[in-house]
């Protein structure tokens, strides 16, 4: 397959994945926007003023980056895990497996769909947050790069979950019992400097902490973690998950007998 | 000239130890219309799964138009189109997108993909349904949609796994006509089917596999020539109490108006009629008890690889 043909195959998967979530925007884009708006109302407007400042910023300002990041993480993951498992369940993954499209193009196609949904929801949530609190962006390159890196990372994680899933239960276990707790404990609502030393150290094993903090740096210019560490951890996870995903596709785990 | 498909010593053992293929070797000539027959569980779908890269072979090789599927997968896959037994398209996509997306996976630009989708959907009477979600079209339309999808990249070898299962006779006949057309245009076709009159009518070569082994692989004509005797059903005018005793033929009484006669291949049916006429029995109509290929198929499968009797 020539490079141009691979590009067409990639564009086809990307378009198909984007149309998939766009067709059902009431289920995919709207709910996270509504949920995040509720967070802004409850934690930002109602409870926030009683908490006061966090790291020198209004509580509302402090939580905005984390809430945007939470929407990006959950939606990138959910998009790829449900789409990939759905394609296994309905067996239309076979359309790609029978074709000359290489495994890495299939992988990039699914991930690009996840990134697209993560970015779409992230932008929608950002626009909603502006209705509650206008904010300045400290570093646009840091903000945008973390936006994209995080959605790539969780799209890859969603694909791996989709490969191993054998039932619809299997695609909700990880998001419910692993992803959501890690996201909530990743410093969306608080700075880890507030925690006792033991919990501070324990928080450092949570990869989501690094992404939320780097993203917050892009908005507010503050972070509990150094930027270099955040980029290194995110990049390392992306490379590891990409290679593992590619290995799974190559060996046909869950998709070939 | 290299064959369209060359399979050598292909084996498949599933996890758990089930041996689905025990070393199949066969060639399919370019331009052939080739039937792959066998009872349920014979290994046909496993074989097709390996050709389509959906099942990993345990051993052996598959070469498609000179391209080894293991060593040059992209080149081999580009030559292949598959119409699977079960519906395997996205039920939540419009019909036209199912076809156009498949073209995209073969590197066909979007505009050309939609142009080809139009051609094949029109050919298969699906153009009016192009914007309908795939889940909302009828079973026969879904089958035709899979044919359109398999053809959109214009494969040189088309594999159809029971393409007419569950479709009415009118649609089946129109599908036969369409398949003959594309075969005449040069596409090599491999067909599996449980409708043996379909294989007899369409295919020039017939291979039969059973329990993972190839038990016959020859031209349809040669295969039918191996049938040593045929059984005919005769409808007679006047009711009979018992089967008439004839000098050269043995007849069985099915009911008072129906006789069953076995005719050896080298015998003339005229002799039978002459003997019946002598006894004053008038035959109103005559038909084969079963399709000839069906009779042969049953004997081959029952006798294993032995000579059909």
Q: Could you report the per-residue pLDDT of B136-163, keeping only the tens digit for each?
A: 999 889 999 999 999 999 999 999 998 8
pTM (2 d.p.): 0.84
State both tokens at A214.
Answer: 């780097």
pLDDT at residue A132, rounded to an integer = 85
With cut-offs at 50, 70 and 90, classify the pLDDT of residue B303: low
User: Tens of pLDDT along A37-59?
Assistant: 898 888 878 888 888 888 888 88
State both tokens at B113.
Answer: 């993909």
Residue range A161-166: mean pLDDT, rounded: 94
pLDDT over threshold 90, residue A60 = no
Partner-chain contact A1 B74, CB within 8 Å: yes
CB contacts, 8 Å: B89 with chain A: 90, 92, 95
pLDDT over threshold 50, residue B309 = no
pLDDT at residue B274, rounded to an integer = 87
pLDDT at residue B193, rounded to an integer = 84
Query: ipTM score here?
Result: 0.88
Residue B242 DSSP SS3: coil
Q: B86 vs chain A: nearest CA distance in angstroms?
A: 9
Partner-chain contact B73 A256, CB within 8 Å: no
Nearest CA in chain A to B100: A12
Q: A151 vs chain B: nearest CA distance in angstroms?
A: 24
Averaged pLDDT score across all residues of chain A = 91
Which is more confidently placed, B309 or A162? A162
User: Tens of pLDDT along A112-126?
Assistant: 999 999 999 999 999
CB contacts, 8 Å: B14 with chain A: 257
DSSP annotation string for A126-163: HHHHHHH-----S-HHHHHHHHHHHHHHHHHHHHHHHH
Helix A103-132 vs helix A3-23: angle between axes, to the nearest 10 degrees? 40
Residue A177 DSSP SS3: helix
pLDDT at residue B307, rounded to an integer = 43
pLDDT at residue A52, rounded to an integer = 82
pLDDT at residue B224, rounded to an integer = 73
Q: Name the CATH superfamily housing domain B227-303.
A: Alpha-L RNA-binding motif (3.30.70.1560)
pLDDT at residue B174, rounded to an integer = 85
Q: Domain spans of chain B?
A: 5-224, 227-303
Q: Which residues contact A6 (CB under 8 A, 6 or more apart)?
A: A101, A102, A105, B107
CB contacts, 8 Å: B142 with chain A: none
Strand partners, B12: B21
Partner-chain contact B54 A11, CB within 8 Å: no
pLDDT at residue B304, rounded to an integer = 56
pLDDT at residue A203, rounded to an integer = 87
A20-A24-A30-A32 Cα dihedral, nearest 10 degrees: -50
User: Tens of pLDDT along A62-81?
Assistant: 888 889 999 999 999 999 99
User: Tens of pLDDT along B13-35?
Assistant: 998 889 999 999 999 999 999 99
pLDDT over threshold 90, residue B223 = no
Residue range A196-224: mean pLDDT, rounded: 89
With cut-offs at 50, 70 and 90, classify the pLDDT of residue B305: very low
Of A148, A150, A112, A101, the C-alpha closest to A249 is A101
Interface residues on A facing B, Cβ-Cβ cutoff 8 A? 1-2, 4-6, 8-9, 11-13, 15-16, 19-20, 23, 87, 90-92, 94-102, 252, 256-257
Which range scores top for mean pLDDT: A159-163, B174-178, B244-248?
A159-163
User: Tens of pLDDT along A216-226?
Assistant: 999 899 888 88
In this complex, which of A5, A90, A256 lies closest to B54 when CB atoms are compared?
Answer: A256
Helix B95-105 vs helix B110-123: angle between axes, to the nearest 10 degrees? 130
Write down the residue that tokens 């109509």 correspond to. Answer: B285
pLDDT over threshold 90, residue B6 = yes
Q: Which fold has domain B5-224?
A: Rossmann fold (3.40.50)
Residue A248 DSSP SS3: helix
Which is more confidently placed, A222 or A110? A110
Partner-chain contact B107 A95, CB within 8 Å: no
Over pLDDT 70: what percentage of chain A? 100
Cβ(A252)–Cβ(A166) below 8 Å: no
Residue range B54-70: mean pLDDT, rounded: 94
With cut-offs at 50, 70 and 90, classify the pLDDT of residue B110: very high
User: Tens of pLDDT along B287-301?
Assistant: 877 666 776 777 777
Q: B264 vs chain A: nearest CA distance in angstroms?
A: 47
pLDDT over threshold 70, residue B306 = no
Q: A168 vs chain B: nearest CA distance in angstroms?
A: 17
Q: How many beta-carbon contacts under 8 Å exist across A and B?
A: 90
CB contacts, 8 Å: A248 with chain B: none
Strand residue runs (E) in chain B: 5-13, 19-28, 33-37, 59-64, 67-68, 80-83, 157-161, 188-192, 205-210, 213-219, 229-236, 251-255, 258-264, 283-288
Over pLDDT 90: what percentage of chain B? 51
Strand partners, B94: B133
């Amino acid at each position: 397959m020539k490079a141009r043909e691979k590009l067409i195959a990639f564009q086809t998967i990307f378009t198909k994945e984007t149309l998939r979530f766009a067709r059902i925007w009431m289920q995919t884009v709207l709910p996270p926007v509504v949920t995040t708006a509720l967070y802004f109302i409850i934690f930002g407007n109602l409870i926030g003023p009683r908490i006061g400042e966090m790291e020198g910023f209004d509580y509302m300002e402090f939580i905005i980056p984390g809430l945007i990041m939470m929407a990006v993480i959950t939606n990138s993951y959910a998009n790829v895990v449900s789409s990939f498992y759905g394609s296994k369940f309905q067996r239309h993954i076979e359309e790609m497996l029978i074709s000359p499209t290489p495994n890495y193009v299939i992988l990039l196609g699914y991930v690009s769909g996840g990134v697209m949904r993560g970015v779409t929801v992230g932008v929608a949530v950002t626009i909603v947050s502006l209705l509650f609190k206008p904010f300045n962006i400290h570093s646009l390159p840091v903000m945008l790069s973390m936006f994209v890196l995080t959605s790539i990372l969780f799209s890859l994680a969603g694909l791996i979950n989709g490969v191993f899933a054998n039932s619809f239960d299997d695609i909700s276990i990880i998001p419910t019992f692993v992803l959501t707790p890690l996201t909530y404990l990743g410093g969306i609502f608080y700075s880890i400097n507030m925690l006792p030393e033991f919990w501070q150290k324990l928080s450092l094993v949570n990869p989501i902490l690094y992404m939320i903090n780097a993203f917050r740096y892009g908005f507010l210019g503050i972070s509990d973690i150094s930027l270099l560490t955040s980029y290194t951890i995110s990049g390392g996870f992306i490379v590891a998950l990409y290679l593992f995903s590619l290995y799974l596709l190559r060996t046909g785990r869950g998709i070939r007998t | 000239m290299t064959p369209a498909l060359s399979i050598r010593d292909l084996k498949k053992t599933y996890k758990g130890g089930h041996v689905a293929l025990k070393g199949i070797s066969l060639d399919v000539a370019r331009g052939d219309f080739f039937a792959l027959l066998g009872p349920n569980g014979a290994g046909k779908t496993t074989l097709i799964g390996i050709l389509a890269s959906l099942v990993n072979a345990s051993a052996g090789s598959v070469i498609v138009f000179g391209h080894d599927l293991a060593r040059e997968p992209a080149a081999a896959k580009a030559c292949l189109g598959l119409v699977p037994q079960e519906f395997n398209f996205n039920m939540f996509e419009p019909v036209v997108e199912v076809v156009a997306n498949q073209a995209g996976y073969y590197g066909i630009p979007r505009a050309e993909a939609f142009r080809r989708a139009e051609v094949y959907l029109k050919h298969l009477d699906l153009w009016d349904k192009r914007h309908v979600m795939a889940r909302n079209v009828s079973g026969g339309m879904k089958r035709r949609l899979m044919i359109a999808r398999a053809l959109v990249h214009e494969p040189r070898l088309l594999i159809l796994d029971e393409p007419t299962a569950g479709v009415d006779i009118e649609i089946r006949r129109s599908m036969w006509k369409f398949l003959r057309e594309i075969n005449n245009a040069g596409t090599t076709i491999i067909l599996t089917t449980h409708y043996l009159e379909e294989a007899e009518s369409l295919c020039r070569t017939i291979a039969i596999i059973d329990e993972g082994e190839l038990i016959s692989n020859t031209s349809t004509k040669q295969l039918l020539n191996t049938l040593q005797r045929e059984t005919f059903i005769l409808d007679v005018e006047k009711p009979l109490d018992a089967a008439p005793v004839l000098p050269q033929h043995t007849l069985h009484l099915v009911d008072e108006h129906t006789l069953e006669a076995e005719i050896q291949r080298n015998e003339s049916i005229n002799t039978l009629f002459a003997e019946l006429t002598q006894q004053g029995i008038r035959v109103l109509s005559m038909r084969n008890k079963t399709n000839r290929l069906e009779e042969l198929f049953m004997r081959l499968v029952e006798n294993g690889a032995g000579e059909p009797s």
